[in-house]
Amino acid sequence: MGQTRCNTTLLQAIATKLRDLRKARGLSQIDVYIDTDIHVGRTERGKTNITVTTLADLCDYYGISLKEFFEDISTR
């Protein structure tokens, strides 16, 4: 068994995008938690790997598709 794969550049880009989406809607992390039951603090700091399912749930909450979410995110 090898180490867990981790692309810190990608995680940071996702974290920044999630934080920007939340702030653009005038929401606090607590607001998001109350509405979705998802803790976004560690994810928004790029400290944890987010699952596709959780990301899809957050995209639904923010009213965008996964495709829209990743349009301006670079994986490098």
Whole-model pTM? 0.88
- State the Cα–Cα distance between residues 3 and 69, nearest whole angstrom: 28
Q: What type of residue is 66?
A: L
Provide the pLDDT for residue 31: 98
Question: What local confidence, expressed as pLDDT, does residue 6 receive?
Answer: 80
Tell me what pLDDT residue 76 has: 65
What single DSSP character describes residue 48? S
Domains of the chain: 8-70 (1.10.260.40)
**pLDDT at residue 57, rounded to an integer:** 98
User: Averaged in consecutive runs of 10 residues, what is the pLDDT profile of the chain (76 residues)?
Assistant: 78 96 98 97 92 97 97 80
